[in-house]
Structure 1
Amino acid sequence: MDWQIALFLAQDGIVNGAIYALMALALVLVFSVTRVIFVPQGELVAYAALAMAALQAGATPGILWLLLAMAAAVLALELWRQRRGATVDWWSTLLWCVALPGLAALALLVWRPASLLGQALAVLLLVTPLGPLTYRLAFRPLAHATVLVLLIVAVALHGVLMGLGLWFFGAEGARTPPFSEARLDLGGLPVGGQALVVIGVTVALVLAMFAFFERTLLGKALRATAINRVGARLMGIPTELSGDLSFALAALIGAVSGLLIAPITTVYYDTGFLVGLKGFVAAIIGGLASYPLALLGALLVGQLEAFASFWASAFKEVLVFTLIIPVLLWRSLRSHHVEDEE
């Protein structure tokens, strides 16, 4: 291996690591707020990429009907909860169940954007509400369950969403045009415009999340819920709405990730699972709690995958996932056992 090849591999590792970083951030966010290891995060990535490809082909993405069905189911569930005497926040319910699905349906059935950026915006409107709707249907009724029960539900939901992806999009893969076709030469290393878009959008999202958690009231409420859910509830923070918001942000990050990887690689209905799993490895490096460590873990996973593809391409997935074993061993030796009730 010479320096030119090493630079090529390092570039691929940075681009892949940026995508895994977004996955890791979403997983850490959801787990810290709701204790849910959101296994279906990768399906949202595949949904966004394949929905974008469907729009490019002039078709209406099938997940629009999934979104409308889930919105109707959540509306029925909230009406039932109100009849049972529960307090329902109708402002947030109307936002997730009526406003955003309505805008998505309007964009895809009436507006039918022709520009690349317009189609990307329509995909974000389509995929983002799936997060809070999934939370309200599958996880909010089990908010007081153990982490193991929530994980089992997440795995089952992953299987359901993957099957629906096969039904809506078929088994064929798809790619989309890049957001930038520019070509740069940095010290003899050719860099594609799409790679710069991936890195730039990732950096912008990370900085936006940092500003959101540090500067906004909603962000501080999410941090308080992540640190102490019971204490946040006693201080008047609506933890159910915190769950809505964390899943919405995770779905938005998943949708952006899908739009970013669709021009780079062919995406199939099950591609998102591997992407999400590698993001999970990065999140584990961060202990499912630390955003900076999760970002560093994602870069490590990206570099390991890139160089492993050169030295031992047949075993690159094995090497990446084996990384989780020493990390878990190290963390188990450094931390004391905590019961779930604590």
Structure 2
Amino acid sequence: MDATILGLLLLDGVQSGVVYGLLALAMVLVFAVTRVILVPIGELMMFAPLSLVWLMAGKLPGTLALALALGLLWSLSDRRPWPLLLAGGLFLLALPARGLLPLAYPLALLLVVYLSLATYRVFFQPLKEATVLALLILAVGLHVAYQGLGLVFFGPEQHRPEPLLRGEVLVGLSWQGVLVLLYALLAVLALYLFFRLSLYGKALLAAAENRLGARLYGIRPEEAGMVAFAIAGLMAGLSGLLLAPITNAAYFMGFMLGLKGFVAAILGGLVSYPVAFLGALLVGLFESFTSFFASAYKEALVFLLLLPALFYQSLRAHAVEE
């Protein structure tokens, strides 16, 4: 291995790692506030670029129909019309947005954020008192359902939306890749400022630390969950939109991306944001180098990182007396 190959592997690992890191941060946030392991975050991530491709082709994506269906269930559950009206508003905005990137781009992002909110309100919030295992089973079921709907909506082919920035900075790093790195840096900084300075951020931290205590101080866990899912949907959607011009997008690709983000979140114990992001960088670099030395086994080797992390967590866990 010479210096050129080493540099390419490092660039590829960092570029992948920051995306896994953003997904890991979203999963840690959602789990800390709601105790939901957001398995379908990868599908939400892929829905954004695939919806963008459909809109730029002059077609209405099937995710709009999904938003209308979830909005109807949300309105019936709350006995309020505004969730369905919001979904209808997205549908009406999609009509003039077809073929126009300045309109289609934010619409695809808003669509994913709405789907994330509706997923929480329709499926997870009614089970707020359920165990973590029950919520995990529901999350896995939603992953399977959303992946199947992605196949129905967008077909089995891979699609590549047009990049926002064209050209290469140097070999192995495009301007679109630089945009991904800048987005990751700004997202981490924005999250830090959100948690440290904003009232909603402090409320989320309180709800994550002690749900009962937060409720006694007037913080509703349901609203905290909505904010957490909105942030997770926003991060997943933006990550998908920025990454897809580099790696393509397909209905089946989100699962592996989300799973690697989950590995990084586990490395952080599903509680530590900095450790989860550093773990994601480790996952990205490890994947990059294993794909060079043992490409046939790179996925299995990446998931082997779970074993020492789980072993360490088991040592830290308190023994349960029967």
Q: Corresponding residue for 2:126?
A: 141
For the residues of structure 2 that align with 1:271 and 1:13, how far apart are their CA atoms?
18
**Is 1:107–2:89 an aligned residue pair?**
no
**Is 1:45–2:45 an aligned residue pair?**
yes
For the residues of structure 2 that align with 1:98 and 1:229, how far apart are their CA atoms?
31
**Is 1:213–2:200 an aligned residue pair?**
no
RMSD between superposed Cα atoms in Å: 1.6
Instruction: Report the TM-score when normalising by structure 1.
Output: 0.90
Aligned match of 1:330 in 300, 312, 315? 312
State the Cα distance separating 1:238 from its structure 2 match: 1.1
State the Cα distance separating 1:338 from its structure 2 match: 6.7
For the residues of structure 2 that align with 1:259 and 1:109, how far apart are their CA atoms?
20
For the residues of structure 1 that align with 2:224 and 2:111, how far apart are their CA atoms?
21
Q: Corresponding residue for 2:301?
A: 319
State the Cα distance separating 1:35 from its structure 2 match: 0.2
**Is 1:27–2:27 an aligned residue pair?**
yes
For the residues of structure 2 that align with 1:226 and 1:338, how far apart are their CA atoms?
23
Q: Corresponding residue for 1:162?
A: 147
Q: Corresponding residue for 1:83?
A: none
SS at 1:128 equivalent? helix
Distance 1:222 1:338, change over 3 A: farther
Aligned match of 2:175 in 154, 177, 193? 193
**Is 1:7–2:7 an aligned residue pair?**
yes
User: How many residues matched?
Assistant: 321
Could you tell me which amino acid in structure 1 is paired with residue 11 of structure 2? Answer: Q
What are the superposed Cα offsets for residues 164-197 of structure 1, whole Å, 9 maximum, x if unpaired? 1111111111111111113224xxx553101101
Q: Percent identity?
A: 49
Q: Corresponding residue for 1:36?
A: 36
**Is 1:301–2:288 an aligned residue pair?**
no
What are the superposed Cα offsets for residues 212-257 of structure 1, whole Å, 9 maximum, x if unpaired? 1111111111110000001101111011111111111111111111
Aligned match of 2:221 in 227, 231, 239? 239
Q: Corresponding residue for 1:98?
A: 85
SS at 2:158 equivalent? coil
State the Cα distance separating 1:154 from its structure 2 match: 0.6
**Is 1:132–2:114 an aligned residue pair?**
no
For the residues of structure 1 that align with 2:14 and 2:200, how far apart are their CA atoms?
31
Instruction: Report the TM-score when normalising by structure 2.
Output: 0.96
Task: After TM superposition, list the pairs within 5 Å mapping 1:58-137 onto structure 2.
Answer: 58-79=58-79, 94=82, 96-99=83-86, 101-112=87-98, 114-115=100-101, 117-137=102-122
Could you tell me which amino acid in structure 2 is paired with residue 98 of structure 1? Answer: L
Asked whether the 8 Å contact 1:107–1:113 carries over to 2, the reply is: no
Residue segments in structure 2 that go unaligned for 5+ positions in a row: none
For the residues of structure 2 that align with 1:266 and 1:9, how far apart are their CA atoms?
19
What are the superposed Cα offsets for residues 244-302 of structure 1, whole Å, 9 maximum, x if unpaired? 11111111111111101210112221110000000000000111010000110010000
Distance 1:111 1:310, change over 3 A: closer
Could you tell me which amino acid in structure 1 is paired with residue 90 of structure 2? Answer: A
For the residues of structure 1 that align with 2:263 and 2:319, how far apart are their CA atoms?
21
Asked whether the 8 Å contact 2:55–2:97 carries over to 1, the reply is: no
For the residues of structure 2 that align with 1:184 and 1:156, how far apart are their CA atoms?
42
Could you tell me which amino acid in structure 2 is paired with residue 50 of structure 1? Answer: L
For the residues of structure 2 that align with 1:308 and 1:49, how far apart are their CA atoms?
28
Q: Corresponding residue for 1:85?
A: none
Aligned match of 2:158 in 173, 176, 179? 173
SS at 1:17 equivalent? helix
What are the superposed Cα offsets for residues 115-140 of structure 1, whole Å, 9 maximum, x if unpaired? 3x432211111110111111111111
State the Cα distance separating 1:111 from its structure 2 match: 3.8
Q: Corresponding residue for 1:269?
A: 251
For the residues of structure 1 that align with 2:288 and 2:142, how far apart are their CA atoms?
30
For the residues of structure 1 that align with 2:84 and 2:15, how far apart are their CA atoms?
35
Residue segments in structure 1 that go unaligned for 5+ positions in a row: 80-89
Q: Corresponding residue for 2:17?
A: 17
Distance 1:278 1:190, change over 3 A: closer
For the residues of structure 2 that align with 1:11 and 1:19, how far apart are their CA atoms?
13
